[in-house]
Amino acid sequence: MFSLNFEYRVGGKRVSPDQFGGALEDELKRKMFDAITSRVESLQCPDHRESPRLKEQAPSGDNMNFTYSFCCEKLKELAEAALK
């Protein structure tokens, strides 16, 4: 098993709580995280027909860490390429 950490920084797109309130910020974050996970999870390994499996999703400050496991290095490379 290969694992990969995606660190997604949302600090640059942060909405000021004074202006919009915390709810919108949470909504924005959730949408971004949904977009990332659905992009990665829709991938399929050409050799093994496996999709990346989400192992862990952990917030750390303004960042979110996604840990995926992959059947092989090839799928991991596909996932990395999909996020560029």
If the CB atoms of residues 61 and 81 are measured against Zn ion, the closer one turns out to be: 81
Whole-number minimum distance, CB 32 to Zn ion, in Å?
27
The answer to whether 4 and 34 are in contact (CB under 8 A) is no
Q: Rounded CA gap, 7 and 66, in Å?
A: 7
The answer to whether 52 and 25 are in contact (CB under 8 A) is no
Structure tokens that stand for 76 in this block = 């991991």
Whole-number minimum distance, CB 23 to Zn ion, in Å?
40
* Residues of the shown chain interacting with Zn ion in the complex, contacts defined by CB under 5 A: 45, 47-48, 71-72, 75
If the CB atoms of residues 64 and 70 are measured against Zn ion, the closer one turns out to be: 70
If the CB atoms of residues 64 and 75 are measured against Zn ion, the closer one turns out to be: 75
Whole-number minimum distance, CB 71 to Zn ion, in Å?
4
The answer to whether 9 and 62 are in contact (CB under 8 A) is yes
